[in-house]
Structure 1
Amino acid sequence: MTGVSYLANIQWRVAALEPPHLAAINPWEEWSDTHREFAFHGGIPETWFWPYWTLQRLPVGLHLVEDLFTETQEHPLFDAFWASKAATLERIRIPAYVVASWTDHGLHTRGTLEGFKRIRSQQKWLEVHGEKKWAYYSRLESRLRQFAFFETFLKGRVTEGDEWPAVRAFIRAKGTTGEWRAFEAWPIPETRAYACFSTSNAGSSQSGNQVKS
């Protein structure tokens, strides 16, 4: 399976069912927890894209669809309803080529990175770029990497994928300029995380307390 956004989100859900004939997945920028990463970012209601998506995009079709907008009003906190909308990532064990982006943190970045961390695949690779998702997914370089991945796990052929680092990330210098770097794991070894909080002056403050992973 391969695809971007919703077409990637369903890969988490299907792979967690462990169907015997699903050989590999290529989730490309998606969310894995609808409550935390889509409808309520950090507990704060998403007031533009979520209403637009649930009221205008989902109802378009020939068949009945779930009334997610009303259900969101009825379930403002994470509960069993929202748990049913989150992928059971720990059940995924098949090979995965996971692609995230620094540019889509309002919807896809956390879910993709969290998905990569939590799946239990022994053969998994993470790529983090800094461009627009569909354009990057469709460019020739990306298509060749997708092809190499599926050639390996669908046909058993030796490809360039055998030499890929576990993590490949584009480290920005400014705008779209920067360099690709290879890492052995995610989170990147020696990464230090700090708690930050919103302030009344439209900025943020750092607590100075390092967050334990």
Structure 2
Amino acid sequence: MSRGTSEAFFDVVEWAAEQPWSSGKVGLLGISYYAGSQWRVAARKPRGLSAIVPWEGMSDYYRDRCRHGGILSNSFIKFWWDRQVITNQYGRPGRAARNWGPDTVEGDLSEEELAKNRQDQNIDNAANHFRDDPYYASKEYDMADIEVPLLSVGNWGGILLHLRGNVEGFVNAGSEFKYLRMITGRHDLPFYYSEEVEVQRSFLDAFLKGDDRVGWSVKGKVPPVDLVLRKGDVGFNDAQAEKAYPRRTENEWPIARTKWTNFYLTPDKKLTRLEPLHTPPKKLSYRALGTLEDPSLIQFTTAPFEEETEITGNVVAHLNVSVSADATGPTPSDIDLFVTLRHISPEGKEVFYTGTAGDPVPLTKGWLRVSLRKTNPDHPKHRPYLPWREYLSTDRLPVIPGEVYGVDVEVWPTQVVVEKGGKLVFEVASGDTQGSGIFLHNSPEDRSEEKLRGQNHIVFGPKFSNYVTLPVIPPKYGA
């Protein structure tokens, strides 16, 4: 996702458009890295680029991939680096024998030579913390500069990498013809399903060949938003079962008829639509520095829903938090918040959905490092349901033990139809919990005991209202 990659990609697009065998129109189609790189080159407006299909591809390197709420997402960075870069680096001996590309024409390189020829993402991400640090600043671009026809395809289960980027890329792109299509399933499979291939083909044919069988190039013909609705418990990592999910189109994102509804956290760990009145001062405490293996969390649960309820869109949580030191520990100077929204079936069983690697995941997750709580309400991308943070080095604020901080936590978009009798659980934790999979935030340097060890608190009282705002969707007609 570097500037150099975008510049080289730009040159390749213009080269392809100029070849005698080319129509002069170039389209981009790819998944994951080959989707994320499309946003950046499209913003550069290379001559000949006529349509892009970023399929499950992050659009914001810092917020989507590397630092969730300012917290380093280190384990996936290492997983991807070791699997996709180290094993495939030009000059790596034995690639052909491993069916990992052809051997290097110029001959094999030593480990020392290979190391000199690469810039290690693990080191760069650990050494850079803010968007104005050189590593991250070099990757910035303006999504509004994207003007070519766009089909952004996001996956509801991609709650730790690409989901946010596909939604925000669609919202912020400057394209006249732009579409958002949501899917479910593993990260590596739906792209190749025959029905999805036909969607890709019809979109590209419309803008590259002038063969518009669907109406993509006719304003208003194809609804801009095409959603899959997660209703019922069909299990996870079962592509055939997930075909039972219905689809529905909408004209915008977020959906115009959304009823933004506050669900209030209570000291007795309930989640209620009624705002508690006359709440006496109280705090719920949990240990800092929880891990996936040894989680530290508090869960708040709704009563059974009295009627079927659809939730589709962005989520935001408002929490009042504080920190205190352990009796023998250092004085903490920060708080890391990890929040999760979970779905419980009418039978009392948690409903899991298919995650990126086919693993079971909850509805969605969100994060915030409290020292980076500052928002920019004047920014055009700041919305009531999506707090905008710059994550600049100048934005860092102190966290003092005993002080209470009201913070807005961005939670990634989600979709679910809660059946009558079903419940929702909102979870607040101090580290990764179930559903994090290969996307752990467990760097001992980024999440050090010196900085975080202690007791974290959610604070309640007359001045401290805690709630999560959910996008409740009335029926499409007659609501």
Which of 196, 205, 211 is the aligned partner of 1:157? 211
Q: 1:35-66 deviations in whole A, cap 9, x for unaligned?
A: 21111111111131112223553233116222
Aligned-partner residue type, residue 59 of structure 1: I
Tell me which residue corresponds to 1:22. Answer: 49
SS in 1 for 2:223: coil
Tell me which residue corresponds to 1:98. Answer: 152
Over the matched positions of the two proteins, sequence identity in percent amounts to: 30
Which of 58, 78, 96 is the aligned partner of 2:131? 78
Which of 204, 207, 213 is the aligned partner of 2:466? 207
Aligned-partner residue type, residue 224 of structure 2: A
Deviates more, 1:98-107 or 1:190-199: 190-199
Tell me which residue corresponds to 1:134. Answer: 188
Q: Does the 8 Å contact 2:203/2:212 carry over to 1?
A: no
1:13 matches 2:40: yes
SS in 2 for 1:188: coil
Check 1:210–1:14 CA distance in 2 against 1; reply closer, same or farther (3 A cut): same
1:62 matches 2:129: no
Aligned-partner residue type, residue 112 of structure 1: N
How far apart in 2 are the matches of 1:66 and 1:2?
A: 27
Q: 1:112-171 deviations in whole A, cap 9, x for unaligned?
A: 111111100000111001122332111111111111111110111231144421100001
Q: Does the 8 Å contact 1:31/1:107 carry over to 2?
A: yes
1:167 matches 2:225: yes
Check 1:103–1:87 CA distance in 2 against 1; reply closer, same or farther (3 A cut): farther
How far apart in 2 are the matches of 1:134 and 1:185?
A: 27
How far apart in 2 are the matches of 1:199 and 1:44?
A: 10
Which of 195, 201, 211 is the aligned partner of 2:317? 195
How far apart in 1 are the matches of 2:152 and 2:172?
A: 12
What displacement does 1:199 show? 7.5
How far apart in 2 are the matches of 1:12 and 1:158?
A: 23
Aligned-partner residue type, residue 207 of structure 2: F
Aligned-partner residue type, residue 114 of structure 1: E
Q: Does the 8 Å contact 2:227/2:247 carry over to 1?
A: yes
Aligned-partner residue type, residue 144 of structure 1: E
How far apart in 2 are the matches of 1:9 and 1:158?
A: 26
Aligned-partner residue type, residue 427 of structure 2: G
Q: Does the 8 Å contact 2:74/2:122 carry over to 1?
A: no
Deviates more, 1:3-12 or 1:38-47: 38-47
SS in 1 for 2:130: coil
How far apart in 2 are the matches of 1:106 and 1:92?
A: 24
SS in 2 for 1:71: helix
Q: Does the 8 Å contact 1:92/1:119 carry over to 2?
A: yes
How far apart in 2 are the matches of 1:209 and 1:120?
A: 31
Which of 181, 193, 197 is the aligned partner of 1:143? 197
Structure 1: gaps (5+ residues): none
How far apart in 2 are the matches of 1:88 and 1:37?
A: 15
Aligned-partner residue type, residue 107 of structure 1: L
SS in 2 for 1:26: strand
Largest Rg, 1 or 2: 2
SS in 2 for 1:125: strand
Q: 1:46-98 deviations in whole A, cap 9, x for unaligned?
A: 13111222355323311622222111122122224313224421110000111
* Normalised TM-score (structure 1): 0.88
| Number of aligned residues | 210
Q: Does the 8 Å contact 1:92/1:121 carry over to 2?
A: yes
SS in 1 for 2:185: coil
1:89 matches 2:143: yes
Tell me which residue corresponds to 2:250. Answer: 183
Check 1:54–1:87 CA distance in 2 against 1; reply closer, same or farther (3 A cut): farther
SS in 2 for 1:104: coil
1:113 matches 2:167: yes
Cα RMSD, aligned residues only: 2.4
Deviates more, 1:157-166 or 1:40-49: 157-166
How far apart in 2 are the matches of 1:194 and 1:116?
A: 19
Give structure 1 regions of 4+ aligned residues with deviation exceeding 6 angstroms. none
1:42 matches 2:94: no
